[in-house]
């Protein structure tokens, strides 16, 4: 039996690996220019696709006008001189060829055509508006463009993309980014269409990996029921067995302590020694904000991992999140819970780990 493939995307910080300051600045300017052109290209794609679809609604055309979105060489009533995807590609090619890598706008065209086709009915009914892409849009590129290699230090990775040298910055990586990159380098998992994004002056690689789903002996007939409760982050039930994962005191005590420390620093920030203005005064506050985020992220990973381990151990092929929508509505009415309980983040991590293990998640 052929194994299923799952797609994972990881956001990895990178920087231009160049010692020459003038050349490095030129590389960054080029990346900013490409990102701006990518945003323009994305808006052009959606505008043209929508106009093509709604030509028949333009009431000032005569009734004799025949509208069929197909290549006129293949369909008698077709109004296009090529396929729909090729029409938008030709527009991008005429505007951006020679100004940015064709691999970027080719992959952009392919992904946005697929996105438009999946949402076109909602656009027609007026249920959704056409997206307006900003300057911070990711720049997609084909997997064949990304050639990884180990750096001399061995911790990070090097790659050249469109003749620009890059190096990853993994830092104290507590996630699976380094493992996935190493496996991609070794060829045990594949890379798919990825992207580069500039965000708040920093560069990120949005690396997309394709890997086989974990092979566990699961039974769809065995259902694990999980409740994201107030007293315990997760309460699980499989048959007659009950499991409590984490506790209110454990999760909230540390988080509230970090928040209290941050509030004390905030009150005293006005008396901090200046030197570089606002940035220096608020440096300690930013440190505690990041500390809270890291703590919560670590706890949610731990709780979700334990839940999936229970499902695997009991061979539960289906995971039912009981009364979850009702509890989220209740949490919205309680400001304290909405601020501190992180329902959405926990659900997201459960869904990802369940997909990787081959467990179906149903939300009640």
* Residue 156 and residue 60 share a domain: no
CB-based contacts of 313: which residues, under 8 Å, 6+ apart? none
Provide the whole-model pTM: 0.67
Residue in the structure block whose two tokens are 């945003």:
39
pLDDT at 353 over 60: yes
How many CB atoms neighbour CB 40 within 10 A? 18
CATH code, 333: 3.30.420
Greatest mean pLDDT range, 96-105, 151-160, 247-256: 96-105
pLDDT at 206: 92
pLDDT at 43 over 80: yes
Q: Give the range of the structural domain holding residue 236, as residue numbers without chain letter.
A: 219-262+291-363
pLDDT at 270: 59
- At 225, the pLDDT band (50, 70, 90 cuts) reads confident
pLDDT at 274 over 80: no
pLDDT at 298 over 70: yes
* Residue 229 and residue 184 share a domain: no
* Residue 351 and residue 256 share a domain: yes
In whole angstroms, give the CA distance from residue 330 to residue 311: 27
The structure tokens listed for 332 are 């919205």
**Residues paired with residue 162 on neighbouring β-strands, in sequence order:** none
* Residue 356 and residue 254 share a domain: yes
Whether residue 175 contacts residue 162, with contact meaning beta carbons closer than 8 Å, is answered with no
In whole angstroms, give the CA distance from residue 181 to residue 13: 13
pLDDT at 72 over 50: no
Residue in the structure block whose two tokens are 């708040």:
200
Residue in the structure block whose two tokens are 């380098």:
185
- At 343, the pLDDT band (50, 70, 90 cuts) reads low
pLDDT at 71: 46
In whole angstroms, give the CA distance from residue 198 to residue 291: 24
Largest CA distance in the chain: 77
Number of domains in the chain: 3
The residue-averaged pLDDT of 226-252 equals 78
């Amino acid at each position: 039996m052929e194994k299923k493939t799952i797609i994972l995307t990881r956001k990895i910080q990178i920087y231009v690996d160049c010692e020459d300051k003038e050349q490095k600045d030129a590389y960054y300017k080029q990346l900013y220019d490409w990102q701006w052109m990518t945003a323009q290209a994305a808006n052009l794609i959606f505008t043209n696709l929508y106009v093509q679809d709604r030509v028949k609604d333009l009431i000032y055309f005569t009734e004799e006008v025949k509208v069929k979105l197909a290549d006129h060489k293949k369909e008698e009533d077709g109004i296009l001189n090529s396929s729909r995807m090729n029409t938008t590609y030709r527009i991008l090619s005429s505007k951006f060829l020679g100004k940015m890598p064709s691999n970027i706008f080719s992959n952009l065209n392919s992904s946005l055509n697929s996105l438009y086709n999946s949402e076109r009915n909602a656009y027609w009914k007026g249920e959704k508006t056409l997206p307006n892409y900003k300057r911070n849009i990711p720049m997609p590129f084909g997997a064949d463009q990304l050639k990884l290699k180990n750096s001399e230090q061995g911790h990070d990775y090097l790659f050249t993309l469109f003749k620009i040298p890059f190096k990853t910055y993994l830092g104290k990586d507590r996630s699976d980014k380094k493992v996935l990159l190493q496996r991609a380098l070794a060829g045990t998992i594949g890379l798919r269409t990825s992207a580069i994004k500039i965000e708040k002056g920093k560069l990120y690689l949005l690396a997309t990996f394709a890997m086989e789903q974990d092979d566990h002996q699961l039974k769809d007939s065995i259902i694990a029921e999980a409740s994201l409760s107030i007293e315990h982050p997760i309460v699980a039930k499989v048959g007659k067995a009950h499991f409590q994962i984490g506790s209110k005191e454990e999760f909230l005590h540390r988080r509230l302590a970090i928040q209290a420390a941050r509030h004390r620093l905030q009150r005293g920030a006005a008396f901090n020694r200046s030197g570089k203005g606002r940035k220096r005064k608020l440096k300690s506050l930013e440190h505690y904000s990041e500390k809270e985020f890291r703590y919560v992220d670590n706890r949610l990973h731990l709780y979700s991992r334990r839940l999936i381990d229970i499902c695997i151990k009991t061979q539960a092929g289906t995971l039912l999140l009981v009364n979850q929508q009702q509890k989220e509505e209740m949490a919205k009415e309680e400001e304290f819970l909405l601020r501190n309980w992180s329902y959405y983040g926990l659900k997201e991590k459960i869904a990802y780990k369940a997909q990787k293990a081959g467990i179906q998640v149903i939300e009640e």
